[in-house]
Amino acid sequence: DAEMGHVKVKGEDTDGWVTHLHEYGIQGMAVVAFLSGLTSMILVVAHLVDFSSLGLMILAPLVFWQKTQLKALGGMRGQQNALRSKVNELTEENGKLTTSIDTMEEQVSELQHVEKDLATVAAKAGGQVDRLVSIVHENGEIQKEIKGILQDEILQQIINAVINTDRDSNYQLDKREVRQLEYRLKNIPGVVFYHDRFQAFCASDEGDLTLADVTNIARNLGDDSIPPEQQIFEFAPKQIMEEKLKQGEPTPQSSPARSLS
């Protein structure tokens, strides 16, 4: 008990040499002694016997009462010892919890340092991501500008092909001139020319093209509202870039856009 930190008060559980006798045995002996003393005083005529019997009669009830009190006292102290034992167990558990809390506080402190380091890394990474997003946005704008320049160049070539085909300058192309225009449009770099769609477009005008039709052909290139299956041209900037590199001409990044006006 001393090693576990338990403290016990003297009582029935610890004072066995006093309270080991059964309560009813002691009380029975006290009753017998009382009756023996009473009988001796009645039957024996002697002052010494009377004195001894009187003392026995007085002590017997006292022993009976004292044994009852000791029994009650021993039970209460046993309960106190049980409670104190429980308190000691709770104190030991509290000590373990305190140790666990200290350990957790150390771990939390370490996690806070890790969190700060991660926040620093995240801040740096966030700046890099913002820069990357900005570069992607700028690249998208540059690509749009390049696409616009290339479309202007191709549109100019389409208009030139139409003008060169209309030799009589009547702003209307007959069937022969339409075939010549088709040949010229096939050879324009930077676009994919769909012959079948062009033929369907010409069929709607009975083979002849007016100035309005020619304008619609030119608009077909940059009009995103036209369904893909109806587009006569498909923009292919890679072809015109490769063509310019072969010819040694400056790319659209270094040459200004040509106006159609």
Specify the range with the lowest mean pLDDT, choosing from 69-73, 109-113, 171-175, 178-182.
69-73
Mean pLDDT taken over the chain: 71
Residue 40 near residue 49 (C-beta atoms within 8 A): yes
Specify the range with the lowest mean pLDDT, choosing from 105-119, 132-146, 147-161, 247-261.
247-261
CA angle 49, 53, 57 (to 5 degrees): 175
User: Does the pLDDT of residue 50 top 50, yes or no?
Assistant: yes
Q: How confident is the model at residue 3 (pLDDT cuts 50, 70, 90)?
A: very low
Name the β-bridge partners of 191: 235
Q: Higher confidence at residue 11 or residue 60? A: 60
Entry pTM: 0.38
Neighbours of 221 (CB within 10 A): 20
User: Does the pLDDT of residue 190 top 80, yes or no?
Assistant: no
Select the CATH number that applies to the domain covering 140-247 from these four: 1.10.3470, 1.10.287, 2.60.40, 1.10.238.
Answer: 1.10.238
Q: What is the pLDDT of residues 52-80, one digit of tens each?
A: 666 667 777 777 777 777 666 655 666 77
Specify which of 36-40, 153-157, 236-240 reaches the highest per-range mean pLDDT.
153-157
Name the β-bridge partners of 193: 233
Domain ranges, ordered by start, for the chain: 140-247
Q: How confident is the model at residue 257 (pLDDT cuts 50, 70, 90)?
A: very low
Joined together, the tokens standing for residue 86 give 């429980």
Q: Higher confidence at residue 183 or residue 17? A: 183
Residue 197 near residue 231 (C-beta atoms within 8 A): yes
- Identify the three-state secondary structure at position 210: strand
Joined together, the tokens standing for residue 130 give 């913002």
Joined together, the tokens standing for residue 210 give 């007016």
User: Does the pLDDT of residue 225 top 50, yes or no?
Assistant: yes
Residue 65 near residue 73 (C-beta atoms within 8 A): no
